[in-house]
Structure 1
Amino acid sequence: MKNLTILWRRMYAAVALSVFMCLTATTNADPHHPCHAPNMTGFMSVMSLKGDTKAFGAFTYDSMGKKLRFRSNESHPANTSMGLDLLMLFNDGIFYEIDSRNQSCEKKSLQCTQHPLDIPDDATFKGVKNTGSPSIKGEGLKTNEWAGSMPDMKGCYSMSVTMGCLPVCTMYFHDTYSFMVSITEVEIQIKDPDLLLVPSYCVAQPLEETPEGTVNSFLNEFM
């Protein structure tokens, strides 16, 4: 009986130590490490901070494969809306500007892989923001605010992301331009995987040379 009591005390001490270590690890862990968005399908609008619509259209995003397809809606009422069909392959460091009507495309290299659907790993957490009323159910949205610099583009950015890591809006600032990207009607799935495949008429397309000093990126398409 004495030996059983000693064994029980040792087991209790071991469990207590494990719980203490887990609690300590949870307390010391950084709760604001940049998260990564899931697979998504939705709509994206790009507006200059002067109020001009630069582009509006549907997007499909593969979070694991790091692929993004964005097709602007040319029927959007804003006359300044850009006609774009972009397939970004971030892991491969290339992207395609697609013209499905003429079945042609341009294949280019990516010098910057930053885009508004994912928080950069070096982003700085700025705080939590409540939009609307947090005290009334269904009338508020809590977001994490992130910010950082973009050395390749000589600018900076500010991102609002939900607690579930869904991007809401991102603002980009530069000496000569600034614009905002808003994400709406998001579904956490890839509804049409074929959109992330390189069209057959683009497969054999040669890689275009990048002029010296040019920085190709998803963001540069709107500048």
Structure 2
Amino acid sequence: MYAAVTLFVFMCLTATTYADHHQPCHPPNMTGVMAVMTLKGDVKACGAFTYDSMGKKLRFRSNDSSPFNTSLGLDLLMFFDEGIFYEIDSKNQSCVKKTLQCNLHPLDIPDDANFYSTVTTGSPSIEGEGLKVNLWTGSMPGSKGHYSMSVTMGCLPISTFYFTESTSLLFSQLDIELEIKDPDLLVVPSFCLGQPVEETPEGTLNSFLNEFM
């Protein structure tokens, strides 16, 4: 596992095929599964996500029935355009509302991302055994970190590496369907309505990614 991840990182960081005409695409609405792991192979979280591409809304819930041993139990509702998000605890009917300082997340290519290369995973010469993807890279706002995203030709995110001084994470998207199966998941739960925004300590950067770090 670690060797495969290292090889992929090397490929992403050393690709040299640039093309000025490539512009970042934006995916459609999606429902699927997201897994988050460290480069050592430790699975930090695995669960279902629902993403509203037009409304810039994301719900991620760690799956208690996941076959992986995970270290984080999360239920996050992100409103990227509004700059707020909720940490939800449905079991205890409670939530924490926070300001969102960074909109970076693994389901959309940032507008300032740099196109690196188009590669084929698997075999390009055997029908059904290869997948052509575009690689995008860029810097992480508010840190010295960088990211590398692989996206299908139809703009579906496959995986994203995030590298920071303190940690590195791999986000993988699985079983993607091009629809929002349950729109209610993107609505603020009734027990969260009227919740005040929690004060953000100085020097803290609230983001979807930081919930896993």
TM-score by length of 2: 0.89
Moved more, 78-87 or 157-166: 78-87
- Deviation at 1:78? 3.3
Q: Which of these residues, 166, 177, 180, is aligned with residue 187 of structure 1? A: 177
Aligned to 2:47: 57
- What secondary structure, in the 3-state scheme, does the structure 2 residue paired with 1:171 have? strand
- What secondary structure, in the 3-state scheme, does the structure 2 residue paired with 1:152 have? coil
CA deviation map 1:29-85 (0-9, x unaligned):
954100001100000000000110000000000000000000001232433331100
- The letter for the 1-side match of 2:25 is C
Supply the distance in 1 between the matched residues of 2:21 and 2:49 (Cα, whole angstroms): 29
More helix by share: 1
Supply the distance in 2 between the matched residues of 1:183 and 1:82 (Cα, whole angstroms): 17
- What secondary structure, in the 3-state scheme, does the structure 2 residue paired with 1:153 have? coil
1:114 aligns with 2:104: yes
Supply the distance in 1 between the matched residues of 2:106 and 2:157 (Cα, whole angstroms): 7
Q: How many residues align structurally?
A: 195
1:159 aligns with 2:152: no
Aligned to 1:76: 66
- What secondary structure, in the 3-state scheme, does the structure 1 residue paired with 2:142 have? helix
Aligned to 2:119: 129
Supply the distance in 2 between the matched residues of 1:141 and 1:57 (Cα, whole angstroms): 24
Q: Structure 1: 5+ residue runs without aligned partners?
A: 1-28
- What secondary structure, in the 3-state scheme, does the structure 2 residue paired with 1:183 have? strand
Compare CA radii of gyration and give the structure with the larger one: 1
Supply the distance in 1 between the matched residues of 2:180 and 2:91 (Cα, whole angstroms): 24
- What secondary structure, in the 3-state scheme, does the structure 2 residue paired with 1:195 have? helix
Supply the distance in 1 between the matched residues of 2:103 and 2:173 (Cα, whole angstroms): 19
- What secondary structure, in the 3-state scheme, does the structure 2 residue paired with 1:201 have? helix
Aligned to 1:218: 208
Q: Which of these residues, 171, 187, 208, is aligned with residue 161 of structure 2? A: 171
- The letter for the 1-side match of 2:162 is Y
Supply the distance in 1 between the matched residues of 2:138 and 2:156 (Cα, whole angstroms): 18
Q: Which of these residues, 47, 50, 57, is aligned with residue 67 of structure 1? A: 57
Aligned to 1:141: 131
CA deviation map 1:141-190 (0-9, x unaligned):
00000000113132000000000000000000011100100001000000
Over aligned residues, Cα RMSD in angstroms? Answer: 1.2
Aligned to 2:8: none
1:207 aligns with 2:197: yes
CA contact (8 A) 1:74 1:81 kept: no
- Deviation at 1:110? 0.4
Aligned-pair identity (%): 72
Q: Which of these residues, 67, 77, 101, is aligned with residue 87 of structure 1? A: 77
- The letter for the 2-side match of 1:133 is S
Runs of 4+ in 1 over 2 A off after TM superposition: 74-81
Supply the distance in 2 between the matched residues of 1:30 and 1:65 (Cα, whole angstroms): 29
Q: Which of these residues, 24, 37, 46, is aligned with residue 27 of structure 2? A: 37
